[in-house]
């Protein structure tokens, strides 16, 4: 008997991802007049990649490149015992003085909202930014906390047991894609 492969459904291809990120870049520029105060900060691993691409687009659109940042959430989660495996901890990179800054936090998928909560905690241990906004490539629903995104690439309604698989060519050596993965029925 052959092992049954989980069913996957392509919801965004490379072109759709590029257009969604470009639209998010336009919306960020529209809402934030002072780009010199802006920090686009990704949540590892793929949120960092989305953040870099947003920065590329903003630079193309406006001719200036806002500051880049990384916000580690692994050490700010408090569910170490409940997780099956550890995620790598990476250094957080944020500007020294956050006081007048606007941080756009970037992640690939918004699901329970717990990563965002952990990222907000991480940011607050560095300082007090003027404002924090939240951008995600995919919002799949099923929030467990009162959190919403300011910028959304695509809303993808999912069942709880489904997964969202985001792949980027430069990280994963397969074409850019977002897929819904349905588990194999027993």
Query: What is the contact surface with another protein in residues (CB under 8 A)?
Result: 72, 74-78, 80-81, 83, 85-92, 121-122, 124-127
Report how far residue 129's alpha carbon sits from residue 116's, in angstroms, rounded to the nearest whole number: 15
Query: Nearer to another protein by C-beta: 84 or 146?
Result: 84
Cα radius of gyration (the chain)? 17
Report how far residue 143's alpha carbon sits from residue 114's, in angstroms, rounded to the nearest whole number: 9
Query: Nearer to another protein by C-beta: 80 or 174?
Result: 80
Query: Nearer to another protein by C-beta: 106 or 122?
Result: 122
- Sign of the Cα torsion 94, 95, 100, 102 reads negative
Query: Nearer to another protein by C-beta: 65 or 165?
Result: 165
Q: 56, 45 in Cβ contact below 8 A?
A: no
Q: How far is the CB of 126 from another protein (least distance, A)?
A: 5
Which residues of the chain form beta strands (DSSP E)? 7-12, 38-42, 67-70, 102-110, 131-139, 151-155, 163-167, 177-182
Q: How far is the CB of 106 from another protein (least distance, A)?
A: 19
Query: Nearer to another protein by C-beta: 29 or 120?
Result: 120
Q: How far is the CB of 79 from another protein (least distance, A)?
A: 9
Q: 173, 14 in Cβ contact below 8 A?
A: no
Q: How far is the CB of 71 from another protein (least distance, A)?
A: 11
Q: How far is the CB of 131 from another protein (least distance, A)?
A: 19
């Amino acid at each position: 008997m052959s092992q049954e492969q989980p069913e996957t459904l392509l919801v965004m291809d490379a072109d759709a991802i590029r257009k969604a990120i470009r639209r998010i870049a336009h919306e960020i520029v529209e809402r934030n007049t002072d780009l010199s105060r802006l920090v686009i900060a990704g949540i590892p691993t793929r949120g960092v990649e989305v953040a870099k691409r947003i920065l590329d687009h903003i630079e193309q659109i406006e001719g200036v490149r806002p500051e880049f940042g990384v916000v580690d959430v692994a050490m700010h989660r408090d569910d170490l015992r409940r997780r099956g495996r550890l995620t790598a901890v990476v250094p957080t990179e944020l500007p020294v003085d956050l006081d007048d800054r606007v941080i756009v936090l970037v992640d690939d998928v918004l699901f329970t909202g717990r990563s965002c909560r952990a990222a907000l905690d991480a940011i607050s241990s560095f300082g007090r930014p003027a404002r924090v906004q939240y951008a995600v490539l995919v919002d799949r629903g099923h929030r467990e906390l009162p959190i919403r995104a300011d910028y959304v690439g695509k809303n993808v309604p999912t069942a709880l047991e489904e997964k969202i698989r985001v792949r980027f060519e430069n990280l994963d050596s397969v074409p850019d894609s977002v897929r819904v993965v349905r588990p194999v029925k027993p």
